[in-house]
Chains A and B, each alone.
Chain A
Amino acid sequence: MNENEAVLVTYGLQRAYGSCMALDGASMMVRRGDVYGLVGRNGAGKTTLMRMVTGQSEPSGGEMELFGASGKDMRLQRSRTGAMIETPSFAPFLSARENLEYYRLQRGIPGKGVVDEVLEQVDLTGAGKKKFKSFSLGMKQRLGLALALMNHPDLLILDEPINGLDPEGVAEFRQILRTLNQERQTTILISSHILSELSNVATRYGFMEKGKLLEEISAATLHDKCRTCLRLEVDDPAKAAAVLQSVLGTDRFEVLPGGIIQLYDYLDDPKQASYALTQNGVALLAMEQKGADLEAYFLSLIGGGRDA
């Protein structure tokens, strides 16, 4: 399997509930090794998409490929995935250990030790004998993750996995994901409303809105797009560029269409930049400090909104 191999591809995936299109032609590609952050507000179609990938519901249109398999062959490839979609669900009358043992037997995963291994991985060893019905939301999330990890998946699909976790739990969870991704090369598809947390782990993003995938972008490109800069609007961009190089001695800027220059230097001393430009005959029409994070980028992409 090579680095750029597509683990999951969807082509114009659709899902209608009556007259409402929960998914309206979503096309995306998750490559091997990605930590793919799926971003979108409530009802954008993230969970619907994940439910289809995991076989919980069937698409009304479009196609999917999982590890290169499509149609009915896709089902067999699901044994290479681990998933936690919406709230973790277990038999309430069984303990954490019994629940995992039940799924271990059902899935034919060899070795009883694997249950203790994953319980330890999610820090639930002490609660192994506690009944699921008396678990807190955070503990349920951890157990859901333990189940998703039990078969050492090549693709991990996580829908809002850090809901209900305390700050320490969130940090541990982040570390688990990093370890899985970096040491076991597990590909991860994750959605979260906590975009600051998502930006800590994701290497690639897909932005969804109204059932469509608006944009796919790598974390590096997003970082570039969101870098803090001085946004200068000038009458003569060529001349301004020459002044920035010769007078201020910097080439850390980009010339954009419409007389816009993004300068990544002199952020602490914008006066010096404006002085150099005006003194050398460049009319400075506007100047502002600009920067964005994942949330601001997402909101700009969808044109503002309630919540992400």
Chain B
Amino acid sequence: MLNYIRAEIYKLLRRKYTYIALGVMLLLEALLVGGFVFTNAGGGHTGFWDGSLLVAGMGAVGFCACMITGDVVFAGQYKNATLKNEVSFGLSRTRIYLGKFIVQTLLSIVYMVVMIVFYVGSCWLFLYQDPESDLRALQIIGYFLAVGLPLWIGGQAVACMCQFLLNGEMAASFAYVGIVFVLDGVLDILSMMNYGSRMGEVLATVKVYLPRPMLDMAVSVVGDWTFLGEAWLVGLFWVAVCTAIGLSGFYKNSI
């Protein structure tokens, strides 16, 4: 497995996509901070508290990033038919699947660290500071990230599953968006249609344990360690379920 991961990292480091994706995200962050600085110059008063706390309101960006990091690692595998080189050498499909998922997750974490450090660091450098409220902002961000990390890894598992199951990057992206961004809305509607019934309750409960809606609740329960534990359980549950489905499908696929 270590050989496989080393090889994937070797390839990633030589792929322009890796750097372009990160560069674009950093540029957007820079534009945001630049906007705050610009409005401050015109009389605005955006401080570190306001700017940095935007991180805690942008959980969805993390889920979008999962799709991008998944694509950076996996893009072209079916289109260029390179998986056949791996299978025909006798590498097990489990190793191929888990190897790619681990590298996708590592890349996500690297992206996350770089983006958070860049954004929060920029806010610290260029926006007004207030030691008391700034410390509180860092605590909220820390809690949000601790909740977000397992849920984003769950999202990464969804992305990986879609990529292995669907022979086409566009189809995989649509499926990912459907599961992560649309499914909770569908469950909402269905639970409202079944309001008052057992089915309605079940659907509403399922919706709460989807990764993205769960992360959206994090800001309102800062410091709740039970919620943090639940987030880790939910994240790991999504990793386990998606990996099981993705792997069994990958074993059945002809390459």
Docked-complex contact B11 and A78, CB < 8 angstroms: no
Q: In the docked arrangement, what's the CA distance between A157 and B88, Å?
A: 10
Q: B1-34 CB contact bits vs A (8 Å, 1 = yes)?
A: 0011011101100111100000000000000000
Docked-complex contact A106 and B16, CB < 8 angstroms: no
Docked-complex contact B80 and A106, CB < 8 angstroms: no
Docked-complex contact B11 and A89, CB < 8 angstroms: no
**Given A89-B80, A90-B80, A93-B15, is A108 in contact with B3 using a C-beta cutoff of 8 Å?**
yes
Determine if B244 is an interface residue (Cβ-Cβ < 8 Å).
Answer: no
Docked-complex contact A91 and B82, CB < 8 angstroms: yes
**Given A56-B87, A108-B3, is A92 in contact with B255 using a C-beta cutoff of 8 Å?**
no
Neighbour of B14 across the interface among A56, A81, A87, A94, CB < 8 A: A94
Contacts of B3 in A (CB 8 A): 105-108
Docked-complex contact A92 and B89, CB < 8 angstroms: no
Q: A64-105 CB contact bits vs B (8 Å, 1 = yes)?
A: 000000000001111101010111011111100010011101
Contacts of A57 in B (CB 8 A): 254-255
Determine if B230 is an interface residue (Cβ-Cβ < 8 Å).
Answer: no
Contacts of A58 in B (CB 8 A): 254
Q: Taking the nearest CB of chain A, how far is it from the CB of B137, in angstroms?
A: 41
Q: Contact size class for B?
A: 20 to 34
Q: Taking the nearest CB of chain B, how far is it from the CB of A276, in angstroms?
A: 60
Q: Taking the nearest CB of chain B, how far is it from the CB of A304, in angstroms?
A: 32
Contacts of B255 in A (CB 8 A): 56-57
Determine if A62 is an interface residue (Cβ-Cβ < 8 Å).
Answer: no
Determine if B245 is an interface residue (Cβ-Cβ < 8 Å).
Answer: no
Task: Enumerate A244-297 residues with CB–CB distance to B below 8 Å.
Answer: none
Contacts of B17 in A (CB 8 A): 93
Neighbour of A81 across the interface among B76, B81, B85, B88, CB < 8 A: B88
Docked-complex contact B7 and A102, CB < 8 angstroms: yes
Docked-complex contact B89 and A105, CB < 8 angstroms: no
Q: Taking the nearest CB of chain B, how far is it from the CB of A78, in angstroms?
A: 3
Q: B73-106 CB contact bits vs A (8 Å, 1 = yes)?
A: 0001000111011111111100000000000000
Neighbour of A55 across the interface among B6, B8, B14, B90, CB < 8 A: B90
Neighbour of B254 across the interface among A56, A75, A157, CB < 8 A: A56
Docked-complex contact A102 and B254, CB < 8 angstroms: no
Q: In the docked arrangement, what's the CA distance between A58 and B250, Å?
A: 12
Contacts of B8 in A (CB 8 A): 106
Neighbour of A106 across the interface among B84, B86, B254, CB < 8 A: B86
Docked-complex contact A75 and B85, CB < 8 angstroms: no
Contacts of A81 in B (CB 8 A): 88-90
Neighbour of B11 across the interface among A75, A79, A91, A151, CB < 8 A: A91
Determine if A147 is an interface residue (Cβ-Cβ < 8 Å).
Answer: yes
Q: Taking the nearest CB of chain B, how far is it from the CB of A271, in angstroms?
A: 58
Determine if A51 is an interface residue (Cβ-Cβ < 8 Å).
Answer: yes
Q: In the docked arrangement, what's the CA distance between A108 and B95, Å?
A: 14
Interface residues, chain A, with chain B CB atoms under 8 Å away: 51, 54-58, 75-79, 81, 83, 85-87, 89-94, 98, 101-103, 105-108, 147, 151, 157
- What would be 8 A-B contacts, judged by CB atoms less than 8 Å apart? A56-B254, A58-B254, A85-B84, A89-B85, A94-B14, A98-B11, A103-B89, A105-B7
- Beyond A85-B84, A90-B85, A106-B8, list 13 extra A-B contacts (CB 8 Å): A54-B87, A55-B88, A55-B90, A78-B89, A87-B81, A91-B80, A103-B85, A105-B6, A105-B7, A105-B10, A106-B4, A106-B6, A108-B3
Top 7 A-B pairs, shortest CB-CB distance: A78-B90, A106-B7, A54-B88, A57-B254, A105-B7, A89-B81, A108-B3
